[in-house]
A and B are shown apart, each in its own frame.
Chain A
Amino acid sequence: MTYKRKKYHVGDTHLKKRWRVRNRKKDLDQIDTDIKEENADKLLNQQVDLDLPGAAQHYCLHCARYFINDHSLQDHFKTKVHKRRLKALELEPYTVEEAERAAGQGSFKPAVKRKIVTQNTEKSVTDQDGDAVLEEYSKVSQVRHSALFVNGVKATEQFVYVTPNVDISEQLKHKDVAQEQLNKRKSQINLDKIDNLWSVYEELKTRKLDYEKKKAEISRDLGKLIKNEPDSEITQKLKIHIDLIKENIRKLKVPLWSAEEAAMVEALKLPARLHSKTPDVNPKILYTHLSPPKNTKNHLKIGQEKNIIKLIKNENYYLTGDAAIFELGAKFRFTSILKKNKFIQFSNPDFVKSLIVEGCGKDHTDPDSTFILHHNEESNVNKDSRLHLTGAATLCSFLAYHTKNVIYPKVLPLKYFTMGRQYIPSAHKEDSLFHVSQSSVIELFGVTKTASDLDNTLEEMTDILKNFYSELGFHFRLSIIPADKLKIWESLRVAVEMYSTSLDSYIEVGNLSLSGDFIPKRLMFTFVENKENKFPYLLSGTALNVPKFLACVLEQDQDFEIPDMFRVEKWTL
């Protein structure tokens, strides 16, 4: 709770007067008790006291000052003095207990920093004619959650790290094509609604631009006139005109913010453009290796008999003995193949911020889509800047590396991979290795300059996958997933599927997805060419999901044993 200023000696006179007891203001720790809800309530709704400025009706809680009217109070909120005070109040005040803890009595915990926000002076809306007020009120309290797009007032509360590049006017021009794509995805998004919001936003934007243009014109004329005939009638007229325009621009600011936010938040929900190869309804089989097993095995049963799987719940399972060696061996085998193919290895962090989660096309407020980290101490956490446990081997983690960064085009295409965990909250009630929330995986990540380069890289990577799975001698097939099964960031997905006899269906044990420039645009991952910022094209994929793969291998016709190339002796080269 420091309160240090730059100008220490300004006004260092008449100290006698300044330091008199009657001039003493409240100290920071006193204000700290004032902030507590029960005290704050009293201070903000004081009785009329004619001796105090403004009859004690306009009080700033944090600066402990009275103002004469609402206007001056609002002006005060914008001053540096007030903001500096808010900053100073962030740190919890010093107490004797803290000192004792620091000296070794009890376990030391450092003073906590809190978020201090200016008091809310909007009076609660309880007018007689309920309807209109209620509507207005609900408009105000409507909370939109976007970690990616933050503007207007919210931008002062939250640090805006990246501003997404959203421009859907091109898409809206060919509305029928866009609508057809949405239909193929069986998406519920209402394009007309987005179109409406977007046009309102565009209209306001053009109006603002018009005003600004006019303002510039007039001030140019005014500049000329004011030198020659400062007091003429035209000058006066122009002055009034310019004031009017300024006022209009000011009035337009807030509506423009809300229109922009409404349009952007909806536009961010639009999925990526489909790739021309993506089939409409049924998966397109690219390749089939051997034939599916014919038995009625269940991997859990076999795992229990052999004592290599202990599955308590989807969230909590152990692999022991051969299964654990299988897990590591499969990963190591795959990494050695990737290294031979000039892929570069990464080791990533497991956490990403909300903005990355939303940038990658997932809902960052949904606890079923990612594990959200919760800290014990802080109760008031901004929903848009939390940490999410996604695992190191995920697309999010690679994007967290590249967000808001520029690369040079000569390094493209990039081919990265990582070996690690993937955590996804399990949505299934049924417990099996197919639905576990923690998986060991190999994740691929590719970046190219153009869409056609991307198709070539996809083919190259598909071949690598095909070779890896073929040499193991199990049945699998490669197929392109239809549009309605794609996630919003995907434009095409090639899946490696193995047959599960317990579920009597194919299971995706690996995949490769194209997402084009969808995510780079949202997270400002760019490259420079001819002094212009351009967006690269992305390819990503979970090349191998070990638990699903293991489950399928256990359900093969032949008895389970660790494939030769996964054995410990093969880990060295």
Chain B
Amino acid sequence: MLKRLAAKSIWNRLVQVRFCSSFCIPDFDTNYYCDNKNSEEIQHNICIRKGVGDINKVLELYNLFKTTPEVDSQKIREKLLKELSSLPSRTHPKVKTNVNPSIKDLIDKKKDFSHKPLEFSEITQRLNLIRTEKLGNTCGHKSYYFLGELAELEEALIKYTVTKLLSENFELVSVPDILPRNVLESCDPHHHGSDLYLSGTAEMSLAGLLKNSIHKKQDLPLKLAAVSRCYRAETSNVIEERGIYRVHQFTKVEMFVATPQEQSDDMLEYILKIQEELFRPLGLHMQVLDMPPHELGAPAYRKYDIEAWMPGRNAFGEISSCSNCTDYQSRRLNIKYDGGKYVHTLNGTACAVPRMLIALLETHQNPKGKIMIPYVLQPFMNGKEFITKNSLVPELKLLKIKR
């Protein structure tokens, strides 16, 4: 669901105007999109997706464009490109008919608790590991501070994830969190405004890194990973998403892969395998979902979500997703390989910190109030085996102003 939200989000804009970089015109697959024969298929695709895009208008403009002499056609061409860019990506034939997410796999079993499992906010409050209250006037709505060992656990998760990804021969990249507008548009066209934007996921920065590049086939697949801060404009007030489940800002480790066209399906399975290998040792009960068309963002061709069981909430919560975007992004960013073919791009979450912490703390709480640290994370936390009440950070009391 992480990715889906990025598509919906309204972007925060920074006041400063500093950027002005060259804009490259996307090379759309006009042979496919502007052929009358395919219009029915495309129309159907638009329907089962979110209903954004208008194929009839595209065809109309395309015919108009072909018949007008080249001198006057510039304006029509621009309109055509705009319409083309709002069309969604194609959909994987296997999921086309799905309406609900289909469960692909179940990992591990639900843990039995001898006591009633507590919810994340309650655990952290009892152990003094987080502060979320009374921050609206100093750092804005839905802010949070991780204190002491919870912050250490965050660091351990990043170390653990990056170590694993490096052993899988991913190349680590440090990415900018503030981006100029045109990079964002190529990943996801539903933005408006100008200037600088805060990046919602490292996928955008990583795609921007590869912009206008040609690769040799033997160098592919290109596997990148990044640790970055992600900024989201939207939060929610529904009770199921209370606490830090959905926040404005969080740290995330992201995977981004570019492959030759014929390998992207296998690569998606490979990314899913890495995700499973990452999460399985953490002792979580999870389900892998194959997402139906209407749950896909515009760039995605097929998407898997992994949801972890959060006992305190008594519900599954999404902790990661991976999707295959085929040539949707590479056409817009002009990323090619041998013979002028466009690469296929894929992306997946390796670790989204807040949700991972929720799942970990709720799963590994014990009746005495301690949190057991999964075995694989212990070396990254100086050999600590469990988290106890944090007495080092003093609790604060609000000052009463006397007038």
Chain A residues engaging chain B, CB cutoff 8 angstroms: 107, 159, 161-163, 310, 312-313, 315-321, 323-325, 327-328, 332, 335-336, 339, 344-353, 355-356, 367, 371-377, 387, 389, 392, 397, 400-408, 411, 414, 416, 418-421, 423, 425, 437-438, 440, 524, 526, 533, 568, 571-573
Task: Tell me which residues across on chain A come within 8 A of B8, comparing CB atoms.
Answer: 107
- Residues A315 and B396 in contact in the complex (CB < 8 Å), given A373-B12, A374-B12: no
Bits for B124-159, please: 1 = Cβ < 8 Å to A, else 0. Answer: 000000010001011110011111111110110011
B143 engages A573 (CB within 8 Å): no
B383 at the interface (CB under 8 A from A): yes
Chain B residues engaging chain A, CB cutoff 8 angstroms: 8, 10-16, 18-19, 21, 131, 135, 137-140, 143-152, 154-155, 158-159, 162-163, 166, 171-180, 192-193, 195-196, 198, 205, 209, 226-227, 229, 231, 248-249, 251, 379-380, 382-383, 392-394, 396-399, 401
B209 engages A318 (CB within 8 Å): yes
Q: Which 10 pairs show the lowest CB-CB distances between chains A and B?
A: A347-B146, A319-B174, A572-B379, A400-B138, A349-B143, A345-B151, A405-B396, A324-B172, A347-B151, A161-B137
The answer for the CA separation of A423 and B198 in the assembled complex, in Å, is 12
Closest-by-CB residue of B relative to A436 is B176
B229 engages A350 (CB within 8 Å): yes
Q: How many A-B residue pairs have CB under 8 A?
A: 194
The answer for the CA separation of A347 and B231 in the assembled complex, in Å, is 15
- Residues A356 and B139 in contact in the complex (CB < 8 Å), given A348-B145, A389-B198: yes
Q: How far is the CB of B243 from chain A (nearest CB, A)?
A: 14
The answer for the CA separation of A347 and B249 in the assembled complex, in Å, is 12
Question: Which of B19, B154, B176: most chain A CB closer than 10 A?
Answer: B176
Which of the residues A161, A320, A335, A350 comes within 8 Å of B172, measured between beta carbons?
Answer: A320
The answer for the CA separation of A403 and B145 in the assembled complex, in Å, is 14
The answer for the CA separation of A353 and B392 in the assembled complex, in Å, is 27
Task: Tell me which residues across on chain B come within 8 A of A320, comparing CB atoms.
Answer: 171-174, 209
Q: How far is the CB of B350 from chain A (nearest CB, A)?
A: 14
Which of the residues A324, A387, A389, A400 comes within 8 Å of B135, measured between beta carbons?
Answer: A400
Q: How far is the CB of A341 from chain B (nearest CB, A)?
A: 13
- Residues A310 and B209 in contact in the complex (CB < 8 Å), given A316-B179, A533-B399: yes
The answer for the CA separation of A524 and B145 in the assembled complex, in Å, is 20
A438 engages B396 (CB within 8 Å): no
- Residues A408 and B394 in contact in the complex (CB < 8 Å), given A346-B146, A389-B198: yes
The answer for the CA separation of A328 and B157 in the assembled complex, in Å, is 13
The answer for the CA separation of A150 and B370 in the assembled complex, in Å, is 46
The answer for the CA separation of A374 and B179 in the assembled complex, in Å, is 15
A367 engages B176 (CB within 8 Å): no
Q: How far is the CB of A174 from chain B (nearest CB, A)?
A: 29
- Residues A573 and B137 in contact in the complex (CB < 8 Å), given A349-B145, A351-B249, A376-B192: no
- Residues A414 and B12 in contact in the complex (CB < 8 Å), given A400-B135, A437-B178: no
The answer for the CA separation of A388 and B209 in the assembled complex, in Å, is 27
B382 engages A315 (CB within 8 Å): no
Q: How far is the CB of A383 from chain B (nearest CB, A)?
A: 11
The answer for the CA separation of A163 and B137 in the assembled complex, in Å, is 13
A346 engages B151 (CB within 8 Å): yes
Task: Tell me which residues across on chain B come within 8 A of A336, comparing CB atoms.
Answer: 382
A351 engages B248 (CB within 8 Å): yes
The answer for the CA separation of A140 and B14 in the assembled complex, in Å, is 31
B11 engages A376 (CB within 8 Å): yes
Task: Tell me which residues across on chain B come within 8 A of A526, comparing CB atoms.
Answer: 399
A316 engages B209 (CB within 8 Å): no
B139 engages A371 (CB within 8 Å): no
Which of the residues B151, B229, B382 comes within 8 Å of A418, measured between beta carbons?
Answer: B151
